Structure 1
């Protein structure tokens, strides 16, 4: 935490505080580092709706947010999760608000359908279908590549009318379909309104479900309906209610001991005209909701990094690393990534010829690094003589051997735990991927299940080792009393997690040393390649830095010209400009 020391908030209930502390321990164990920014922007007493995204790490998103949020908040939780044995119990204890999502009750329809956007854009025809029995107005009919039709009227068993044409469909043949029934969320909205009227806070993941895509999914309208509906019922909320965007920015979210940044953004104030439009209903109600969604979407861009696809994200991240800046904090890296995504995509849409050339060079540079098995930040370390590299290599190998010797017992003792977390999380990944139409590889569930399995299996494994030691005492130490033997066994059970934590921290150092060995091997084996790589990187870094400065109005639209400080090499001192903006 960096900015929340000065925030004064009402004391949350004791149980919530205890869980918040527990969640903080869990996030500290799983993540190597978490930075939190923007907590000074969170209102200290007014009601808030926290909209959180991207939802890239399933239940870990909630753990990470609740452990860092300065306000006590009630989370909207999918009913399927609320009814699960472990996750659901936690949700019930923390007074989470269960929500039935249409995608959770989707079922297959009878027969098959056909649709033609050109010939009849507002009707879907069926064959051997039972529309009158299976469909109702406001239901969704889903087919093909996640095409959705919103049912306006059921005409017959083989014909329905939809509210809007479905774009980009070329279906001229009969296909199977699914039905997503309309869900009346009035009870949920009423409960949310009660909390907001009491100046409480609500947390919503507006994408609707977790995913592992490089870009955020379109925002669902639920939180906008909640906010506008609450203000329509209680006009006093118009000046008080704020919507706070929260960005969860992970560096490899599924990996143990990775890093994360939690960014709280500028709160969105409510426009009274939106509330008036919402009250009128019909078209004006939809427009009011759309206005709030658009504002929220723009607000998310200030706290998240979104790329249109994974390949583009890799190129932009590499370009950001090559951009000539000083060493940055995690938060500054995230902010610079965000600026680069904005500028890069705009120039890509304009088909800028120099950008196309730079993209090609960056891809070649990335492929070269991948072939040699080193990272971009290690290229500068190749500027070393083979003799010095050999000495440094031997010293680090010696350190690595010592750390491996210290950590070997812990690794061997935890092999059953490692196997269980890996196997079960991979199985859950397959199940999540099979049941989703938006996930790419299902990586968003890996961290959650690793932590759940470890939380259950680790105490059992340590108990097993303690039982073995107790059996040893019974057989080999007859002079000891049963009470003493049990106390010693309990001490063995309790001390194991402490020892494993210490060895885990040593393991962080060991991993850093291991990663530094490859460039040293390269510097010893083939120093010419290192020289070529450094020249290649320096040239590419110079070109990208020059290109960014030429288009700084696109890459840094929020920075005024007088906040851009350049040194003698014409480098943009982003760190100073970030500090300047903070003031």
Structure 2
């Protein structure tokens, strides 16, 4: 029961923190039988929360041992049938023994359960994957199961530490586990472990974004946004991820084949971004041919109506939750320090603490002033609903403000807006042409 409660609470919290969450490749996940998920690890406790709360089947995670000793978190990881993994860095560099860990994981797999593990061994913000640990291969080979399937699952975040960004869980092509003879301790031979670890590394790279440095990843991110905006179509998170993968591959190939043409494209992208920044626009700005007076008027009237209807409730929600929102951000920044991969976890856990406390204070205040029923309604219904209204009001307001800015530029600097639109299409065309060159 605790697991179901935690799943529901964290599931709701994740869908509030992230604007869009997508699970792609679910058809590759077997509905029954032993399965091992192997995942990259860029976002601390957010990463396991996705699979634990949104996986098509129950999963038991291998988690670092210190979590089991942490108040509250310890109860949560135990509720999910997690298995402690002992690491040297957690034990002051002392030698560790994970034989019981591997035995427990194998027992779950032998019972047809699903187990998940982070082969990198630690959460991080490096541009590339860390070297794979051998634990996943040792567990898988040690089961001796012929029907065990390894599913690589890539975790992708458009901005992993930012509130209301997008996230994707991308399930890749399954790996079969070859037979390997076991020694007297039930351990597979080192050669088989090394070979399967290499296969896991290749499979995980196929479902993740990784580059030589952060600068290249940032360039690819911005270029993909320009390319997608030029298509004037709505893109799913999975499509945006696949586009970035292709751009990363193309960047590496073009750097080797035609660096001069690549540098010219990069310079063009940078000039375009500089022009956008001077006008306060994003790459998704409307082209002049998409702007008409009638359509703008209809959009303005609909937006004003929608914003006007929810404004009183949103104003109350903003007043109620603003302090908790700010405190959550400050606490998360203090806890995360220089570790960006911890920031989203800090924000989520802080918000899950301070927002309910805020609702409790509102309920107690209303109950003191108007009685028990009023307190229950205020704390359990009014405050959360007002918070939801505030969230959607300010998101819609930001969209309306951006649209109004674009319309203003259309009216006073239409030729410049047309030039930017043409340049965006030209950059997209050049990328497509370069794709043909490196294909």
After alignment, is 76-85 or 318-327 more displaced? 318-327
What's 2:135 paired with?
A: 222
What's 1:52 paired with?
A: 39
1:251 aligns with 2:158: yes
What's 1:347 paired with?
A: 254
1:389-468 paired onto structure 2 within 5 Å: 398=304, 402=308, 406-430=313-337, 433=338, 442-468=339-365
Change in 2 beyond 3 A, CA 1:314/1:383:
farther
1:18-37 paired onto structure 2 within 5 Å: 18-37=5-24
What's 1:162 paired with?
A: none
Q: 1:381 touches 1:519 (CA, 8 Å); kept in 2?
A: no
After alignment, is 72-81 or 531-540 more displaced? 531-540
Q: 2:318 touches 2:387 (CA, 8 Å); kept in 1?
A: no
For the residues of structure 1 that align with 2:288 and 2:37, how far apart are their CA atoms? 43
**Which one has the largest radius of gyration?**
1
Change in 2 beyond 3 A, CA 1:364/1:287:
farther
For the residues of structure 1 that align with 2:329 and 2:66, how far apart are their CA atoms? 24
For the residues of structure 2 that align with 1:542 and 1:347, how far apart are their CA atoms? 16
For the residues of structure 2 that align with 1:216 and 1:33, how far apart are their CA atoms? 24
Query: Residue deviations 1:78-129, cap 9 Å, x none?
Result: 11222111211101222211112222234xxxxxxxxxxxxxxxxxxxxxxx
1:293 aligns with 2:208: no
TM-score (normalizing by structure 1): 0.68
1:279-318 paired onto structure 2 within 5 Å: 279=183, 285-318=189-222
Match of 2:108 among 195, 203, 206: 195
Q: 1:382 touches 1:530 (CA, 8 Å); kept in 2?
A: no
**How far off its partner does 1:50 sit?**
0.7
For the residues of structure 1 that align with 2:298 and 2:409, how far apart are their CA atoms? 13
**How far off its partner does 1:397 sit?**
8.4
Change in 2 beyond 3 A, CA 1:327/1:470:
closer
For the residues of structure 2 that align with 1:514 and 1:217, how far apart are their CA atoms? 42
**How far off its partner does 1:74 sit?**
0.9
Change in 2 beyond 3 A, CA 1:459/1:329:
closer
Structure 2 residue matching 1:58: 3-state secondary structure? coil
Q: 2:226 touches 2:284 (CA, 8 Å); kept in 1?
A: no
Change in 2 beyond 3 A, CA 1:550/1:462:
same
Corresponding residue pairs, total? 432
Q: 1:400 touches 1:513 (CA, 8 Å); kept in 2?
A: no
Structure 2 residue matching 1:75: 3-state secondary structure? strand
Query: Residue deviations 1:215-263, cap 9 Å, x none?
Result: 32222222112222333xxxxx0x1111111111112121222211111
For the residues of structure 2 that align with 1:104 and 1:349, how far apart are their CA atoms? 42
What's 1:204 paired with?
A: 117
For the residues of structure 2 that align with 1:63 and 1:504, how far apart are their CA atoms? 23
Match of 1:88 among 71, 74, 79: 74
Note the residue ranges of structure 2 that are not aligned, 5 or more in a row.
none
Note the residue ranges of structure 1 that are not aligned, 5 or more in a row.
1-13, 107-179, 232-236, 434-441, 474-484, 554-583
1:508 aligns with 2:392: no
Change in 2 beyond 3 A, CA 1:400/1:378:
farther
Structure 2 residue matching 1:217: 3-state secondary structure? coil
Structure whose residues are more often helix by fraction: 2
For the residues of structure 2 that align with 1:335 and 1:257, how far apart are their CA atoms? 21
What's 1:182 paired with?
A: 95
Q: 1:369 touches 1:375 (CA, 8 Å); kept in 2?
A: yes
**How far off its partner does 1:378 sit?**
0.9
Change in 2 beyond 3 A, CA 1:28/1:401:
closer
Q: 2:315 touches 2:390 (CA, 8 Å); kept in 1?
A: no
**How far off its partner does 1:341 sit?**
1.5
